[in-house]
Amino acid sequence: MHPAPSALRRAAAAATIALLATAVGCAPQPEDKASDASSSSAGATCAKGGLATKTTGKLTIATDEPAYEPWFKDDKPANGEGFESAVAYAVAKQLGYDKSAVVWQSVPFNKAFAPGVKTFDFDINQVSISTERKKAVDFSSGYYDVRQAVIALKGSKAAKATSIAGLKGLKLGAQVGTTSLDYITDVVKPSQEPAVYAKNDQAKSALKNGQVDAIVTDLPTAFYITAAEVTDAKTVGQFENQGGTPEQFGLVLDKGSDLTSCVTGAVDALRKDGTLAKLEKQWLSDAVDAPVLK
């Protein structure tokens, strides 16, 4: 027995409705809903105190040992004193981690930005942001604009230099892997090979012992060395920034780290609300001026 034509029409209509319902269920979500989901997921990435850190619930921050003033105080990064220690805790707070959730780790300066997986969430150790270093690691936005400076013993030939040309015949020294060393080789271009040291302490000793005529460090470190550590030395002068943009220190992270955008956001917020300027004034106010070497 065959179904009546009207029954066939009803069955066909029902099948069509079912197919349409299925099609609608599988259709792409409207643009606004998709973007809502995306932004919600991005927001969760930087959830306060809930980042994908090396240790859940903790923020691991690295720096070199010893930790020099004025960046740190008494060689104790965890005490919150000194510019970089204070900045590190301010960034941690911005990310949702209080002081008790911060774990400090010792990592040599040159290893912080060497290729390879990192054991820290970020490193803070006067590391200048550069295109070359960005090939191996990520950087946050800059937390401090810096210049390089020359230190020499008072009364020496080097102490009388007033220009880059006056440095060319001298024996200069700096820490390995630093922008300070780059300024010697790329800007001064001395006639003698520069002396290269694993740590600034060794460079300071070489200066005191007359093994080098002068050493190059960042400007705040130069002011601290001459004021508190090698008091018979002086800051001869500072270099102009090269390339038209200021040299900046940045926080170092794993290459491709999920934390990079969150940490950058934290640094940007601290710059915008005046925290970085306040901390700079508190800890680096003595490093305000030195003659410019051209």
The string of pLDDT tens digits covering residues 185-223 is 999 999 999 999 999 999 999 999 999 999 999 999 999
d(CA 196, CA 27): 64
Q: How confident is the model at residue 287 (pLDDT cuts 50, 70, 90)?
A: low
Buried b (16+ CB within 10 A) or exposed e, 130-154: eeebeeebbbbbbbbebbbbbbbbe
pLDDT band at 288 (very low <50, low <70, confident <90, very high): low
Query: CB of 89 within 8 A of CB of 157?
Result: no
Residue 38 host element (H or E): helix 31-45
Q: What's the pLDDT tens digit per position in 17-55?
A: 333 333 333 333 333 333 333 333 344 489 999 999 999
Torsion sign across C-alpha atoms 194, 112, 290, 224: negative
**Residues 216, 150: Cα–Cα separation, whole Å:** 5
Confidence of residue 15 (pLDDT cuts 50, 70, 90): very low
Label residue 245 by pLDDT band (50, 70, 90): confident
Query: 1 pLDDT band (50/70/90 cuts)?
Result: very low
Task: Say what the pLDDT of residue 143 is.
Answer: 98
**For the residues 144-156, what does the mean pLDDT come to?**
96
At a CB cut-off of 8 Å and minimum separation 6, what does 158 contact?
150, 152, 167, 170, 213, 214, 236
Nearest-5° Cα angle at 60, 56 to 66: 160
